[in-house]
Structure 1
Amino acid sequence: MQPIHWSPEFETGIDIIDSQHKRIFDYLQEVDAAIKQRDDLKIRAVAKALIDYSISHNAFEESLMEQANYPVLKAHAKVHEAFRRRAVSYDQRLENGEDSIKVAKEVRSDIGLWLTNHIQRDDKHYVPYVKKTLEGNFVRRMVKHFFA
């Protein structure tokens, strides 16, 4: 598997989003490491954490877009929903006892490719709208709401 690493090309310029994206990249590397160790429990735990974190990140992103009155929010949310359904299916496969290495490789590949493409293509489009809202101190209220 080709390593997937964070690089400046993925920066949106929105600190909280960039830090969440970086965390997803970290999870992708943790999945790689767990697969190399062939540790079934670790593979399942890290893959599940990657799935859960990615889904919650997308929900947070949508809340920022909603507050920014992003005009393409519904279309963006549909892309997130399709991703969520795929991610949940991986989680269910792991819960059903399917080969953890096989599923983790698929999770890592699918989420890694999806993330890199999604950031560069879809996420960069909402940035100006969200940045304008953030100037009004919105992010502090959202962080307080989601992480308090």
Structure 2
Amino acid sequence: MAYNINWSAEFETGIDIIDDQHKRIFDYLNEIDQAIALRSVPEIERVIKAIIDYSISHNTFEESLMERAGYPLLEAHHQVHERFKERAHGYGTRFEKGEDPIRLAREVRSDIGLWLTNHIKRDDKHYVSDVKKSLEGSFVSRMLAKFFQ
């Protein structure tokens, strides 16, 4: 029996763009549930590819914010992301090799769901203050503040 993986306040970083991206990954996890319920192999394939691509792109974006902020644990965080990327690509390869798509989709959902929830609560919360300070001092933030005065 699958457990629910839903967005809640406990996952908020307070950085809107990061929270929006995290919410999208949660949405993909729910789309996997729907594809499993429909037993739709084309939909399972689409969602597995989408969640892998989106998650990897998100991690790269997150690292760019950490780098710009001078986050001291960037390399360690990058290594966590690299291990995730290897595992995620492994799922794609297993799907392409014809592994049972329903079983694989369940595994992707639980593995990525657990990884995501733990990663946000444990690793992502650490960079928030550095990145927020960096974003608050950025040109874009200053321009938005002027625009909305």
Taking structure 1 as the reference length, the TM-score comes to: 0.92
Distance in 1 separating the partners of 2:17 and 2:7:
15
SS at match of 1:98: coil
What are the residue-to-residue correspondences of 1:93-104 with 2, within 5 Å? 93-104=94-105
Letter in 2 for 1:52: D
In 2: Cα distance, 1:138 partner to 1:98 partner: 49
Q: What's the Cα RMSD here?
A: 1.1
Structure 2 residue identity aligned to 1:42: E
Report % sequence identity.
Answer: 68
Structure 1 unmatched runs, 5+: 141-148
SS of 2:22 mapped into structure 1: helix
Stretches (4+) displaced over 6 A = none
Q: CA deviation at 1:137?
A: 2.6
Q: Which amino acid aligns with 1:10?
A: F
C-alpha distance in 1 between matches for 2:24 and 2:30? 10
Q: Which residue of 1 aligns with 2:123?
A: 122
Q: Does residue 88 of the first structure (1) align with residue 89 of the second (2)?
A: yes
TM-score normalised according to structure 2 size: 0.91
- Give the paired residue count: 140
**1:33-78: CA deviations, max 9, x gaps?**
0001000100111111011101110000000000000000000000
Cα gap change, 1:118/1:50 in structure 2, threshold over 3 Å: closer, same or farther? same
Q: Aligned in 2, Cα 1:138/1:29: closer, same or farther, shift over 3 Å?
A: farther
In terms of Rg, which structure is larger?
2
2: CA distance, partners of 1:138 / 1:126 = 20
User: 5+ unaligned residues in a row in structure 2: which ranges?
Assistant: 142-149
**Corresponding position of 1:144:** none
